[in-house]
Structures are given as C-alpha cells and as structure tokens.
Structure 1
C-alpha cells in the first residue's frame, strides 16, 4: 500500500511476544500491560473496524530471543489488508524470506544501521516502497537492538543516507514516550519530515484524538497507535474519521 498525499494512514499496532499480542512500556520486557491470545484475531478486529494496514512488530525478534514467524503467518492468513512488519530482521536472507511471504512493507532497524548496504540491495530487489528504515530515538539519539544500545547520532543525522540508499519510507519511534500514554513532542517528527523527501511514519505517545490532530500538522504520512487503542483511550473508528480529513 502506497502512502497517499491526501491523508495520513492510521496504523494499529500488533506487537507479538511469545505468540501473544502485548503492549510494553518503552519496549522493556516485563512491563506487559496488555496480553491477548491469538494476535491474528486482534489484527482481524482492527481490519473489521476499518484499518487499511496493520503494523506488526516481532518483539522477541527485536530482542534476539526467537522469532514469531508462525504467528506472523497466521496474521497474513487471517487478514486481507497489507501488513508492515518489523523486529529482529538481522539478515538479508530473513528479510527476503519475509518479503516473499507477501509482507507489504518490511521495517529494518538494527541491520540498516550496522549494514547500510542491505537497504540498497533489498530496495533494488523488491522495490523501495517495500523497504522502511526504523529510526528509534531515545534521549534524542538513535537506539538499536531492541532499544538496548545507543549510537551517537540523531535520526536527522542519518535519515538522508537511507533515502539515498533506496529506503522508501522511515518509521520514527520516540522511545522516551512509547507506551506511557502521556502525550509527545511534535518537534522531532517535524525535524525528520524536513530532513528527507520520503514518507515518515510516527510512533510513540499518541494517547488521544487531540494527539492525532496534532501529529497531522507535522507532515507525517502515517501514525502507529498501540497502547491507546488497547486501553480504550482512542477508538479506532473515531480515529479513522480523522484519517481522511
């Protein structure tokens, strides 16, 4: 699914850990506030409520403990809308395997930072629209390996490099506010949007419909919503009404 000029896509998050749909606080294991069996049924629920794309993260993969490939396959079988997937994609071979499963868009973080040439190869082989680079920010610095390791660069320092390497879009996660349901600062999103010519998707701290209205002013082309949906702070149907305005 291509990003559309006229609207910002709202992307419900389905984060998977141990084969279950969970929501963590700032990505830290042990902080599960939501645990739901059958992630594929959760994804189907969001589709039934009108979502046009589902944002799936393999948390076990991101933390390099194992992968949830069987659960990912169940989600692909259950829903008819596109899936964008990230978490634990540390090799070209695994990336190719996922893209050949008909994952619409693959989100690559750690591998993109450590091996930038992989972005060029994957975008050439599968098309740039299917390759999204994840730039996750904590204390204004990019973090990798499940947000456990920090590098001494800001997202805006390296965003242009990934555009030039062939990435079709960038996912920006503000780890400082992820899962806290406490709102967020729009300036980092604005700065990133202004640094590149490819679509930016924002994640982190979206808690209310007012937050959604605020993020639409930044120029991002998509927004991921997780905890706020699962804790009934935001109703997806109401949120989707804002998507087309």
Structure 2
C-alpha cells in the first residue's frame, strides 16, 4: 500500500483543518520545503500537496508550490483549486506528478475525462463526502451526487485512482470512515486512496487489508508526531507470503 505523506498549505504555512474549516486552521511551525524534502529522505515514493489558498481562488502559494515540486525529491500529487484545463496543464508542465480534481470533475466531467485521456496515470478523481453527498468548492458546497453513482458515471475514464474523504467523520469516527471508504473501494473500477483516516500505525494496518485500497494520505499524524513516515511505510509494506517447507 502506498503512503502519501501530506502537506496542506494556507498562507505559506503547513496547516491541518477540522472538517475543512478554513477559519480555524491548526498551524504547524515548520518549513514546508524542508518538510517535503524530509518525506523523500524518509523513503516516501510520493507526497500529496493541497493548496487551500488556491481553493479560495488565490495564487499566493504559487511560487512555494513550484519550489516544492522542484525540490521535494519525490513526485508530488497536487490538489486544490484546479478548475480548468489550462490550470491542470500548467501544473503538469511545472512537473506535478499527478493532479487531483474535485470541483472541476463535478462541474465538467467531460473535460475531466478528456484530461485523463490526455495525461494517462496523472489525473486523480477526488470524492469528498458529507452526509452521503459529494461535496465541491473545497468541501463547502453539496453537489447532490450519490458517491457510488458519481464514481460510476465516469465510466472507463483512465484515472490514476480516486481519493475518498468522508468529511462527516474526519478523524472523529474512523470506524465509520473505514466502512464508507471500503464500500466505495469495492465498487470502484480504480484504486482508492483513503484520506483523513490515519491517526496511527494501526489504522494503516487495517487499511492495507481492505480490497482495492491502494494507499492513504497521512498528514495530521505526522505533524502531531504520533507516527513517523518511516513507521507508516513499514506498516504499509505487504506481508511476506508464506513459503512451504520441503523436506
């Protein structure tokens, strides 16, 4: 299972949010660039980066995001405020390994599907769920889509995968999250990455045995130091298959 150490940016700082609430972020007093480099040094094969200023239509983090992409030492999966073909292609040209699309996918599925065909293995579908509905606009607007039907509506689009977040639970009810995410993973044509569910190594241990769960975003636990990147990667490794003894 792939571990995506995660940085969320707001006003140039690393933050985490409670159920997407931008008004009261938890600010972490660390350098975003050095933090990203540390992920690669610790052995991560990918990292995930969300720009919350871009979600709000602001470009204040643009230079910082570019610097992280250039210097992280590992491919960057980028999300947040990417709502046009031009923006997506701009960031692919800047070196982003993958682009995560939520609002654009909900409002313009045809363009999202075209982008997936144009950039194989680089477009990821974000499915953010609140009270049974897919949310858009950075978790602020209900799209009135049933999650399973929404995912199925994209047919055979060649997405690299989908990222599923259950905003209802957002760290407070991990068992409920696992139930929702595992149910969608069972129905999805694409590998699923779980978001917001990892508080400890035990959560990773449970996730890796759920069919079609390809990976997990891990952010808050790393910043709270309840787990290191190395510990997360070690738990996520597949168990060695038993080998029969022959006499």
TM-score, normalising length from structure 2? 0.90
1:163, distance to aligned residue in structure 2 (A): 4.5
**Counterparts of 1:138 and 1:216 in 2: how far apart (Å)?**
24
Q: Tell me the distance in 1 between the aligned counterparts of 2:155 and 2:78.
A: 19
Indicate how the Cα distance of structure 1 residues 149 and 36 shifts in structure 2: closer, same or farther if over 3 A, else same: same
1:1-245 matches, within 5 Å, as 8-127=1-120, 129-178=121-170, 180=171, 183-185=174-176, 186-219=178-211, 220-245=213-238
3-state secondary structure, aligned to 2:91: helix
8 A Cα contact 2:106 2:143, kept in partner: no
Equivalent residue number for residue 3 of structure 1: none
Q: Deviations over 1:50-100 (max 9, x none)?
A: 111110001111233445221111101212211100000011101110011
| Runs of at least 5 residues in structure 2 that lack an aligned partner in the other structure | 239-247
| 8 Å CA contact retained: 1:49, 1:236 | yes
Q: How far is the alpha carbon of 1:181 from its aligned partner? A: 5.8
Alignment: residue pair count = 236
Structure 1 residues not aligned, in runs of 5+: 1-7
**8 Å Cα contact 1:181-1:227 kept in structure 2:** no
Contact 1:19 1:38 in 2 (8 A): no
Query: Runs ≥4 in structure 1, deviation > 4 angstroms?
Result: none
> Which deviates further from its counterpart, 98-107 or 155-164?
155-164
Distance 1:204 1:184, change over 3 A: farther
Contact 2:116 2:159 in 1 (8 A): yes
The one-character-per-residue Cα deviations of 1:122-163 (angstroms, maximum 9, x if unpaired) are 122221x10001010111211100100012222211112225
SS at match of 1:164: coil
Q: Which moved more, 1:101-110 or 1:118-127?
A: 118-127
Q: Does the Cα contact within 8 Å between 1:163 and 1:196 map onto a contact in 2?
A: no
**TM-score if structure 1 supplies the norm length?**
0.91
Q: Which deviates more, 193-202 or 91-100?
A: 193-202
Distance in 2, matches of 1:136 and 1:155, equals 9
Larger Rg: 1 or 2?
2
User: Contact conserved, 2:70 with 2:95, CA < 8 A, in 1?
Assistant: no
